[in-house]
Structure 1
Amino acid sequence: MHSIRGTSRESNYEGQDIFSDLPDVIIGRILSILPTKEAVRTSILSKRWRNLWKFVTKLHFQDIEPYRRNKIDKFHFLDFVYGVLFHLNNTRIQSFSLYLSEKYDPNHVNRWLANILNRGVTELSINSEKDLSISSYSILESQPLEKLVLKMKLGFFTVPTFVYLSSLIFLKLSGIIVICNTPSNDSKNLTLNFPVLRECEIVNCSWLNVEGVTLEVPLLEVLSIKHTRSLSPDFHSITKVCAPHLRELSYTGHGHLLRDPTLLDLSATHISSAYIYPWHSKRETEEKTVLFVCELLKQLNNNVDCLKIRWPKELWQFDEELLNPENVPSCFTSNLEEVKFRKLKVFNMSCVLPNL
């Protein structure tokens, strides 16, 4: 009798669908781990699962197959994204990620963004391999945003003279041309105020219709700026960074893009490590590149524990006039304890650092 009852109990447990007994919201969070397309496919499992995907809190769309890398038909992709957004049950979405390998009408992308931002999304990522212009005002008005990634081949982003995002912690911009929308008589100085931003990466971005760009980031710890494209003189780069808690700084690019390095306000910042990689182009002489680096180093004001400078391949040796002690940052002559050189043909250190 005991064995019969035990067998019956075991069969009941074996036939039980544990996941189906979970609340809809919990199943939705589990399905959020999957790519959105895979989450939707669970609707064919049973009647119980037909609508559970509508409770997902994370959305990831891409117009290529994730494993085979085959491109998805554009019309099918558009229908899929619109269908998912229309049928979602959740009023709040945690994250939205969009990867586009083809060129799309920006009106579609802007409609998707408006839908998602109205749901209080906190993490937003758009990656486009083609040129894409998106509406910036809906993003700039979304104060719940904590993570923002905009990576494009070339994208246009129109902003007012003052931008404030109260919750933004992580920011990455790549391939973006920021256009400052100001009346002709108003100041053309752009201020980006992100009071809780901790990490910022800016790659091949430029600023149009501005005279200066100020980044106010009192809690910023990691800053990376990279310029590897040649820009028109009408374009500017960031000229002032107010980051008293900066720990890591990385600057890669052409010296002429940072118009006046004396405006890079880092004097009150103690930086654990700094990495500088100046790019040398036909538009610049070797002397200008070296002097630019020296000016940039002066702004660090002796407040760097570890400094790494990687010279371009073209700069194998320095002329004697470039070794003028007046051009050498004071930190080199006062605080420097260790120097390492690699692949340097000619360098007379005795005339620059006699006490090393």
Structure 2
Amino acid sequence: MRYSKKRRFHQIDDGGSRGDNRDGSANLDLISALPDDILGSIITLLPTKDGARTQAISRRWLPLWRSAPLNLADDFIGSVSSSKRMALVSKILSEHRGPARRLSLKLLCTIEVPVIDGWLHSQALDSLEELDLTNLRDMPLSMFRFAPTLRFARFSCCRLPNSISTLRLNLPCLKQLTLSGISITEDALHNVLSGCTALESLELSISGIGAICISSQTLRSLAFYHYGPNILQLVIKDAPSLERLLSLYPDWDRVTIQVIRAPKLEVLGLLSEGLSKVQFGTTIFEEMIAVSLTTKIHTMKVLVLHSTGPNLDAVINFLSHSQQTI
């Protein structure tokens, strides 16, 4: 079927799906002719503001946004007062019928915890799959009501309650977890990780924790950054699927790494001369100097070294010894 070059693709006819152009060709709105579930999938992938705007296209589109899986991110609100931000989020949650795919809320430090707790209890957020919260002084325990359905979770500059360490957590669908600039105890962190039985990607940016022990059958990528006065001991105890072990920043001078079992590890970095200790089985490097070379690592494909200087001696020494094991 041929269409006029002057015809707009999104031309809408509220009275039906077909009209006539002057040249006699059919005037079809092909997108509006799609089934509701496909249109709902399109809407939920749009930014919140654009998804809501689809209600103005035509009568055909008017009810779709309220029934499509909700994608609510408050970054579209812009620089408005805290009260207006609260009112807009509350309005969306009260008008949308759910279910929800994504909830992303920023700048929560100016909003009272009971208000946020009320949002998290909203019926519209049932079956939530993605949760992203930033700048929240105290994380309400109501966030764990999404545990059965969450696939992605990111918490930035938040304080998680110490009571998490005593909860029996089960997050069977969670594949990606980011904890950035959070306040959490060592016991609480390990309790959260033990409940993530399907986790594939973990990103940590933490302080105040002395040791992290990773035992996961599904984890494929681990990226982290440790800050603070104490030294962190990172132990990869049993990670048969781990492929990437990465530093978010090059200064690992407050970290020691011990890899006991990671038979698929392919990518390691950034290693620097400031790193206190790296151990693979019985092979040990201290500040990039080989101390013991007995365990061979046959799977390593990418090794990223960071050196300030020039300080090539340390780099050359590391490479000349590590070629026997990596």
Do they fold alike, i.e. is TM over 0.5? yes
In 1, Cα distance between equivalents of 2:60 and 2:321: 68
TM-score by length of 2: 0.69
Q: Is the 8 A contact 1:156 1:179 kept in 2?
A: no
- Pairing 1:302–2:308 present: no
Residue from 234, 241, 249 that aligns with 1:245? 241
Q: Is the alpha carbon distance of 1:189 and 1:54 closer, same or farther for their aligned partners in structure 2, counting shifts above 3 Å?
A: closer
- Pairing 1:271–2:265 present: yes
Letter in 2 for 1:108: V
In 2, Cα distance between equivalents of 1:199 and 1:59: 22
Report % sequence identity: 17
Partner of 1:88: 96
Residue from 71, 75, 96 that aligns with 2:79? 71
Q: Is the 8 A contact 1:170 1:199 kept in 2?
A: yes
Tell me the CA shift for residue 318 of structure 1.
5.8
TM-superposition CA deviations, 1:249-308 (whole Å, max 9, x none): 2134544533x53xx334342322211233859xx9xxxxx7255589979852442343
Partner of 1:352: none
Q: Is the 8 A contact 2:147 2:172 kept in 1?
A: no
In 1, Cα distance between equivalents of 2:301 and 2:206: 27
In 2, Cα distance between equivalents of 1:101 and 1:299: 51
- Pairing 1:52–2:64 present: yes
Residue from 121, 135, 139 that aligns with 2:140? 135
Alignment length, in residue pairs? Answer: 293
- Pairing 1:157–2:177 present: no
TM-score by length of 1: 0.64
Partner of 1:196: 198
Tell me the CA shift for residue 82 of structure 1.
0.9
Q: Is the alpha carbon distance of 1:269 and 1:132 closer, same or farther for their aligned partners in structure 2, counting shifts above 3 Å?
A: farther
Q: What secondary structure is seen at the aligned counterpart in 2 of 1:226?
A: strand
TM-superposition CA deviations, 1:118-154 (whole Å, max 9, x none): 511122223x3x454322563376122112222x2x2
In 2, Cα distance between equivalents of 1:55 and 1:245: 39
In 2, Cα distance between equivalents of 1:79 and 1:239: 46
Q: What secondary structure is seen at the aligned counterpart in 1 of 2:46?
A: coil
Q: Is the alpha carbon distance of 1:82 and 1:237 closer, same or farther for their aligned partners in structure 2, counting shifts above 3 Å?
A: farther
Q: Is the 8 A contact 2:186 2:211 kept in 1?
A: no
Letter in 2 for 1:155: C
Letter in 1 for 2:20: E
Stretches of structure 2 lacking an aligned partner (at least 5 in a row) = 1-17, 277-284
